[in-house]
Amino acid sequence: MAQTAELEKTETKQTLNQLDQLKRITKVVADTGDFASLKEYAPQDATTNPSLILKAAQMPTYQALVEKAIADNRKSGLTGEVLLSGIMDHLLVLFGTEILKIVPGRVSTETDADLSFDTQGLIDKAHRFISLYKENGIARDRILIKIASTWEGIRAAEALQKQGINCNMTLLFSLAQAVACAQAKARLISPFVGRILDWYKKNTGKEYLPSEDPGVVSVKEIYAYYKKFGHDTEVMGASFRNKGEILELAGSDLLTISPQLLAELKNSNEPVERKLSPEIARQSKIERLSLDEKTFRWLLNENAMATEKTSEGIRIFNADAKKLEQYIAGKL
């Protein structure tokens, strides 16, 4: 009987593609603003960021959303920078609203990168998004507010979580950032696997196997820490450079994956082995980290990769947000 069950299990794995196998052990999230990709790969959730929305907003398919955001905000009578800011917020929410017509779960909407060190500004922006979503008939339990994992961002998340607004902590590159987010009871974190790999390849000149990939190792450490010490914050690996990184993190709470890599998974029937589980994680020998603001800032400072990639990520997202602003301004 046991042999028959094992055989059926093996046959099922062989007939399912890797994406469907992965969905059985990990919540798959699409990292895109393209609705066609969402329909094709049927993820549970979706994430967006300024870079993805910039790309999507310039596609002919989504011009109607851009025009609607402009038209609706023009009715307000606002002008100049205030009008432009209102259009930007509205456009992000319109994309999120359309995405939620396709995915059954949640969508992540990113706060302005130039607010990354402004706790109150982030709180106000989150409330603005929640209010706009409510106007579109979307309940707050389907929204994740994306905030950079700075000390100020983490404090904003702590306040928002107490108000019932769930946060997705992005631009996260270190255990110190992850622990601080868990202490703040953030709903979810997005450690950036591929950008960690980018930094190590650039600074060491080495190539890494998926199992040795520094980004993969970092997420495994964070996952183990959360499960061992009973943190409810979800771990969602992000920013993948290759399919191997994804497969090494099979079993993580969530993984947010680009359409290109979703396609690679869908087109393969190789077996997917579970690499992460709460049971294994709880047996890890990782030590509890005690964090206050001083310790957090010191540990982040001592981690050159995390310091550089956090700052770089904020700059990149801000630059793409400015490009999107310019694109919209050109239509006004």
Integer Cα distance of 262 and 240 in angstroms: 11
Please list the pLDDT of the chain residue by residue as tens digits (332 residues). Answer: 444 445 445 545 558 999 999 999 999 999 998 899 999 999 999 988 888 888 888 999 899 999 999 999 988 887 888 999 999 999 999 999 999 999 999 999 999 999 999 999 999 999 999 999 999 999 999 999 999 999 999 999 999 999 999 999 999 999 999 999 999 999 999 999 999 999 999 999 999 999 999 999 999 999 999 999 999 999 999 999 999 999 999 999 999 999 999 999 999 999 999 999 999 999 999 999 999 999 999 999 999 999 999 999 999 999 999 999 998 889 88
Are the CB atoms for 49 and 110 separated by under 8 Å? Answer: yes
* Active-site residue, from 23, 27, 125, 146: 146
Integer Cα distance of 146 and 154 in angstroms: 11
Using a 10 angstrom Cβ sphere, with 0-12 exposed, 13-18 middle and 19 or more buried, the burial of residue 139 is exposed
Task: Show the domains of the chain with their CATH numbers.
Answer: 19-329 (3.20.20.70)
Structure tokens at 82: 């205030």
Query: Under 8 Å CB-to-CB from 72, ≥6 apart: which residues?
Result: 90
Coil, helix or strand for 269? Answer: coil
Told to judge if 125 belongs to the known catalytic residues of this protein, a careful annotator would answer no
Q: Please report the pLDDT score of residue 170 as a whole number.
A: 97
Structure tokens at 32: 């895109």
Q: Please report the pLDDT score of residue 15 as a whole number.
A: 84
Are the CB atoms for 76 and 91 separated by under 8 Å? Answer: no
Query: Under 8 Å CB-to-CB from 158, ≥6 apart: which residues?
Result: 184, 185, 186
Are the CB atoms for 281 and 224 separated by under 8 Å? Answer: yes
Angle at Cα 65 formed by Cα 117 and Cα 133, nearest 5°?
55
Residue position matching structure tokens 């107490």 = 162
Amino acid at site 68: K
Distances (CA, A) of 304 to 93, 94, 116, 318, 329: 35, 37, 19, 21, 37
Distances (CA, A) of 255 to 25, 72, 299: 11, 35, 26
Q: Please report the pLDDT score of residue 332 as a whole number.
A: 82
Q: Please report the pLDDT score of residue 5 as a whole number.
A: 45
Integer Cα distance of 320 and 313 in angstroms: 11
Q: What is the DSSP letter of 104?
A: S
Amino acid at site 198: D
User: Checking DSSP bridges between strand 27-31 and strand 45-47, what pairing results, if any?
Assistant: parallel
Q: Please report the pLDDT score of residue 76 as a whole number.
A: 82
